[in-house]
DNA sequence: CAGTGGTCTAGACCACGTG
DNA sequence: ACGTGGTCTAGACCACTGA
């Protein structure tokens, strides 16, 4: 068993008021912050830390759990504990739905990822009619049924976002919007062709820890929150024509908005 | 010791592939979701769960840890484990910095909280000159020193937000902006009086788990992420005149934006 | 005071990943 | 086969809360 690199980690004081596992977590955190353990690199194994600090394994595991909860490290069964790499973030600009950005063939996600040198994928595509939740229904003006378009987005094989678009049935049924591939420019282009010129979008942004289902769908490490974004699209007559409910891996995104000062 | 209420929690299957502590976490999560344990109410004690499921205490504690990480429950030493109440959220609208909202005497935070029936407080107010971080410096056009205005916001005694405003020294030194109370309309009103008419704001929104210092400052329970918001204010000449760096308790906020469709 | 969660020990066996 | 983390036990003592 390799010893812990000398000088990187000190000793703990069992008589201190601060719990031993917190002292160990503090030392590891500081070592990571100072770059003594680099992004993606392996921390000393539990056994090595037990040896180094002279504590029981549960104490070491407890300290590792603290840093996992902070999103700093993640454990991989059979391999070790690693400093969590910060993945490249996708920047969502507030003008991303402007008409000029509607590409002829490809979706905004694909275009943008290609430009950034990432490999984009969309999977789990599912389109079906269903009864809306109370919340979605209220936002769309209480339709009895809606068309739901579900899909998951991945970058370089990593799932980063899961989104569901809801549209009132009278706008969607029988159009390309109800097909898996809605055609060039996406559903917004189809809505405008049908006479529903878009006026503006409302976006609501929340952050929270993922449900177990979301963590699985996005393959989230512990300590990674999600950004929950609900966007409502309005046409020029003030009618809500679409609600898009999106859950994003928070470590993969930064949202950018421009606000008028007037 | 009171028994676990009958019918609410079942049994675990030690031969299952799913770990026992996950099965217990699943059962507790489902009971909470179904409302069998209401918001703010106390869960069975660790000892009662040990008795009910016939497992060791560490197993029960492990399952409790899972739900804490999800932000569903929080433990209080000496009292018990409770279903985490969802605090009222503060909605930040994208027009919150419009001139018409600049109240004569009070800050936007105070006005809004009063209207919502909450008791607002601002503390830890600190104003000083300092050397900016690389990031802040870049956003402000690389000034050598800046004025930093730090403050913490509380609602009904609960800290919800910690904010730091940075301004280039040449705009702030010798003005009311450099005083703890910048006067009616706040620093934006002072900037405009000095001829820096505001044109727009850029906001960047991220979500992540808090650092230990942030968790302490905002008294965050485990399983509560923070929203990190960086806003840059530009005047009509395109100069960045202020950067505001804000860390918010994610369970206390929803951000609302309006985006043009053009 | 009794009851609660917080910390810690010293073991055990299992499941995963790699050589 | 071996080293890694994952799960689990059966205890112990401590610190906080409330009656």
Q: State the count of interchain CB pairs (< 8 A) between A and B.
A: 133
Q: What is the mean pLDDT of residues A168-192?
A: 92
- Report the percent of chain B where pLDDT is more than 90: 81
C-alpha closest to that of B37 among B85, B84, B83, B86 = B83
At residue B126, the pLDDT reads 95
Whether nucleic acid strand C comes within 7 Å of the CB of B103, the answer is no
Paired with A249 in beta bridges are: A226
CA-nearest residue to B208 within chain A is A225
pLDDT band of A4, cuts 50, 70, 90: confident
Encoded tokens for B68: 């804490």
Among A83, A101, A120, residue at a domain's last position:
A83
- pLDDT computed for residue A188 by the predictor: 93
DSSP-derived 3-state class of residue A62 = helix
Pair (A117, A234) in one structural domain: yes
pLDDT given for residue A97 in this prediction: 86
Residue A262, helix vs strand vs coil: coil
Establish if A255 touches chain B: CB-CB under 8 angstroms.
yes
Same domain? A168 vs A44:
no
A63 within a domain of the structure (yes/no): yes
In this prediction, residue A86 carries a pLDDT of 92
Would you say the C-beta of B22 is within 7 Å of strand D? yes
Closest among B246, B256, B207 to A205, alpha carbons compared: B256
Query: Is B10 domain-assigned?
Result: no
Tell me the C-alpha distance between A8 and A36, whole Å: 7
CB A106 within 8 A of CB A121: no
Q: What is the DSSP string of B167-233?
A: EEHHHHTTSGGGSSS--TTHHHHHHHHTT--EEEEEEEEEEEPPPHHHHHHTTPPTT--EEEEEEEE
**For A59-110, how does the pLDDT look when each residue is reduced to its tens digit (9 = 90+)?**
999 999 999 999 999 999 999 999 999 988 999 998 888 888 886 767 788 8
Domain count, chain B: 2
Q: Quote the pLDDT of residue A163.
A: 97
pLDDT at A2: 85
Neighbours of B108 (CB within 10 A): 16
Q: What's residue B193's pLDDT?
A: 92
Q: What one-character DSSP code corresponds to residue B251?
A: G
For residue B209, give the nearest of A200, A204, A223 by CB distance.
A223
Residue A37 lies in a domain: yes
Indicate the range of A162-166, A216-220, B104-108, B147-151 predicted with least confidence. B104-108
Buried b (16+ CB within 10 A) or exposed e, B209-239: bbeeebbebbebbbbbbbbbbbbbbbbeeee
Distance CA B250, CA A205 (A): 10
pLDDT at residue B88, rounded to an integer: 86
Whether residues B104 and B201 fall in one domain: yes
pLDDT value at residue A172? 92
Last residue of a domain, one of A32, A62, A83: A83
The chain-wide mean pLDDT, for chain B, equals: 94
DSSP string of A27-65, one letter each residue: HHHHHHHTTSS-TTPBPPPHHHHHHHHT--HHHHHHHHH
Q: Which residues contact A112 (CB under 8 A, 6 or more apart)?
A: A90, A120
pLDDT at A94: 87
Same domain flag for A35 and A129: no
Per-residue pLDDT, averaged over B111-118, amounts to 85
Residue among B161, B166, B188 nearest A259 (CA): B188
Tokens of B221: 């329970």
Nucleotide nearest to A22 (CA to C1'): C7
Are A129 and A245 members of one domain? yes
Q: Is A213 on the interface with B (CB under 8 A)?
A: no
CA distances from A58 to A64, A74, A75, A217, B71 (A): 10, 17, 15, 30, 23
A5 — pLDDT class (breaks 50, 70, 90): confident
Average pLDDT over residues B47-72: 97
Distance A224 CA to D3 C1' (A): 28
So what's the pLDDT on residue B76?
A: 97
Is 90 exceeded by the pLDDT of residue B84? yes
pLDDT of residue A222: 93
Of A218 and B87, more confident: A218
Other Cβ atoms closer than 10 A to A25: 24
Asked whether residue B73 falls in the same domain as residue B95, the answer is no
Q: What is the domain range of residue A28?
A: 20-83
Instruction: Tell me the nearest-neighbour CA distance from A34 into chain B, angstroms.
Output: 15
What are B133-174's pLDDT values in tens digits? 999 999 999 999 999 999 999 999 999 999 999 999 999 999
Asked if the model's pLDDT at residue A199 lies above 90, the reply is yes
The rounded percent of chain A whose pLDDT value lies above 90 is 81
CB contact under 8 A, A223 and B203: no
For residue B79, name the pLDDT band (cuts at 50, 70, 90). very high
**Helix, strand, or coil here: A140?**
coil
Note whether residue B96 is domain-resident: yes
Q: Which nucleotide is nearest to A74 (CA to C1')?
A: D5
Asked if residue A174 is part of any domain, the answer here is yes
Q: Which residues of A touch B211 (CB under 8 A)?
A: 70
Residues A26 and A130 in one domain: no
For residue A181, give the DSSP letter: S
The answer to whether residue B15 sits within a structural domain is no
Name the residue with the least CA to C1' distance from nucleotide C17: A78
B100 and B53 part of one domain: no
Name the residue with higher pLDDT: A3 or A169.
Answer: A169
pLDDT greater than 90 at residue A185? no
Nucleotide nearest to A58 (CA to C1'): C8
pLDDT of residue B101: 80
Average pLDDT, chain A: 94
- B9 occurs within a structural domain: no
> What's the pLDDT score for residue A146?
97
Residues B142 and B210 in one domain: yes
Considering the domain boundaries, does residue A132 fall inside one?
A: yes
- Which CATH number characterizes residue B250's domain? 3.40.1410.10
Last residue of a domain, one of B66, B83, B100: B83
Sheet holding B120-130, edge to edge: A90-92, A253-260, B198-208, B226-235, B240-249, B158-168, B146-155, B120-130
**What pLDDT score does B95 carry?**
87
Structure tokens at A122: 């969309």
pLDDT in tens, B234-260: 999 999 999 999 999 999 999 999 999
Residue A112 has pLDDT above 90, yes or no: no
The per-residue pLDDT for range A33-45, each reduced to its tens digit, is 999 999 999 999 9
Residue B105: is its pLDDT beyond 80? no
**Closest residue in B to A249 (Cα–Cα):** B207
**Residues A52-72: tens digit of each pLDDT:** 999 999 999 999 999 999 999
Query: Which pLDDT tens digit goes with each residue over A227-255?
Result: 999 999 999 999 999 999 999 999 999 99
User: B243 and B177, same structural domain?
Assistant: yes
Q: Do both B147 and B248 map to the same domain?
A: yes
Angle B133-B136-B138 from CA coordinates, rounded to 5°: 105
A134 and A203 fall within a common domain: yes
> What's the rounded Cα separation, in Å, for the pair B12 and B125?
52
Interacting residues of B186 by C-beta distance below 8 A, sequence separation 6+: B102, B107, B108
pLDDT higher at B213 or A2:
B213
Could you tell me the two tokens for B75? 């433990």
């Amino acid at each position: 068993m390799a010893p812990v690199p000398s000088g990187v980690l000190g000793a703990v004081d069992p008589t201190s008021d601060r719990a031993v596992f917190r002292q160990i977590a503090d030392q590891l955190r500081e070592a990571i912050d100072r770059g003594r353990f680099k992004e993606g690199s392996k921390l000393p194994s539990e056994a090595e830390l037990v040896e180094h600090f002279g504590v029981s394994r549960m104490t070491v595991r407890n300290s590792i759990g603290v840093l996992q909860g902070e999103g700093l490290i993640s454990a991989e069964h059979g391999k070790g504990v690693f400093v969590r790499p910060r993945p490249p973030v996708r920047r969502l600009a507030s003008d991303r739905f402007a008409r000029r950005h509607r590409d002829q063939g490809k979706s905004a996600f694909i275009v943008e990822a290609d430009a950034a040198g990432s490999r984009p994928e969309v999977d789990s595509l599912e389109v079906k009619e269903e009864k809306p939740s109370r919340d979605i229904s209220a936002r769309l003006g209480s339709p009895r049924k809606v068309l739901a378009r579900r899909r998951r987005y991945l970058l370089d094989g990593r799932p980063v976002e899961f989104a569901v678009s809801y549209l009132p049935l009278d706008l969607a049924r029988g159009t390309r919007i109800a097909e898996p591939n809605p055609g060039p420019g996406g559903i917004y282009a189809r809505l405008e062709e049908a006479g529903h010129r878009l006026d503006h979008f409302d976006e609501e942004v929340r952050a929270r820890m993922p449900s177990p289902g979301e963590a699985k769908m996005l393959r989230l490490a512990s300590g990674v929150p999600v950004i929950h974004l609900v966007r409502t699209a309005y046409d020029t007559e003030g009618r809500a024509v679409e609600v898009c409910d999106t859950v994003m891996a928070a470590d993969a995104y930064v949202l950018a908005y421009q606000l008028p000062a007037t």
